[in-house]
Chain A
Amino acid sequence: MEQNSHLTSFEKESGTATVQLMESDGDDEAVRRVREGDRDAYAVIVRRYEAPIRRFCHRMLGEPHRAEDAAQEAFHAAFLRIDTFRGDSSFKTWLFRIALNRCRDMLRYSARRSTESWEAIVEHGGHAAEALAAVEAPGYAAVEARDVLKRVLQSLPPEYREVLLLRELDDQSYQEMAETLECSVDAVKGRLKRARAALDGALRHLCEESTVRRSEEREQS
């Protein structure tokens, strides 16, 4: 029984025999069981991928509550559409594609599409950006550095954000990214290059503005 202590009440009520079997099974077996009406199998899939999908939605949308909603909707939609999964790509890639589309929809229809102003980012994270740009982050306060990076990430266009997150957050290969984004590998390379240039440029720009601002403050004082 101790082995099942991590299960939800839903899974416990449904019986543990199937769940134990599924924990060691691959996605193909899990998907087959879900198609046959085994809901416990889908709970195992959700448990398997909830962390990367939630993290991706959170970084894409920038708001925890909307991100949770998007992640839940993505898993819900995947369950309803599981009969359409043909196995051309991995199940994880297919799931990420659904989550990505959900995030795109939310960003498209969101009334609060505007991101934080550049001034606010400079105000909050100038020091951290300077540290990042100077490659001092490993010895720097990582929390602050991560915070400023997330703020800058939110200021980038969504198409840059999604390609950066798929690469860095989920460690997807170019081929997997191409399947998730439904484009060619060359297109992935191009988009990733532009996204990284934008991120790096924004952080360097942030660093320069921060430096100028601080020198002005010193002169005034």
Chain B
Amino acid sequence: MNHLEPAEIEQFVDGELDAAASAAVREHLQVCAACRGYSERLETYGRLLRSPDAHAGAAADTDEFVTAVMQRIAESPAHLAASKEGPAPNGSKRTRPLFLACRDYLLPAFGAAFAIVIIIVRPLAPQSATSTGSDQTHSSIPASVTTRELLLDGLGDNDSSGPFSFSELLTLEGQ
């Protein structure tokens, strides 16, 4: 005897076959113990999985669950922001006041623009009396001085405390 495909039995058990196909499968199950066994096992597994247990759907703690969810919602920042705007009167859609849009979008935008202007303008400002020592050093450097000269000067080329001065190192490297 040819057996049914497992998928065919599964679709029969799940009620996904049309009437004609269901009738054919039902007829086969009456005469085939192996296919009938699989069909019955599927139904048993389904019934056991559906059976309620101690943790799910107990009527006693349904209220607690609903309260806990609504509490989470009430405490969530998104909802707090929405509730400050007040409930919609007569079920009409809430319109967002203009000042709230200003608060949420325009103020940060102006702040960011102001910060950018400060960053751009500050280096162009003339040296004031309150400039730091390093600023004064940089402003007194002639434009003709090269980076290497600055480095040699900054690292103390004339300082003989170390084994080699920086210029000596450069000379050694060149050799």
Contact = CB atoms under 8 A, between A and B. Distances in A.
A213 interface: no
Interface size grouping (class) on chain B: 35 or more
A220 to B, nearest CB: 32
Contact of B41 (A8, A52, A73, A133): A133
Interface stretch (B58-66, B117-125, B132-140, B159-167): B58-66
Given A72-B65, A79-B73, A137 B10 contact: no
Interface string A45-75: 0110011101100110000100110011101
Nearest to B58: A51
A47 B66 contact: yes
A71 B55 CA distance: 12
Given A36-B93, A38-B91, A192-B10, A145 B48 contact: yes
B68 A43 contact: no
B14 A164 contact: no
Given A36-B88, A51-B62, A173 B16 contact: yes
Given A59-B49, A142-B51, A46 B91 contact: no
Interface in B64-97: 65-74, 76, 78-79, 82, 87-88, 91-94
Nearest to B82: A37
A23 B28 CA distance: 45
Contact of B62 (A47, A67, A138, A197): A47
A8 B63 contact: yes
Contacts of B45: 132, 149, 168, 196, 199-200
A143 to B, nearest CB: 9
Contact of B68 (A38, A51, A72, A146): A72
Given A8-B63, A8-B70, A80-B76, A149 B49 contact: yes
Contacts of A55: 52, 56-57
Given A135-B37, A199-B45, A146 B53 contact: yes
Contact of B65 (A6, A46, A52): A46
B66 A37 contact: no
A108 interface: no
5 A-B pairs with the lowest CB-CB distances in the bound complex, closest first: A51-B57, A55-B56, A168-B49, A168-B46, A75-B69
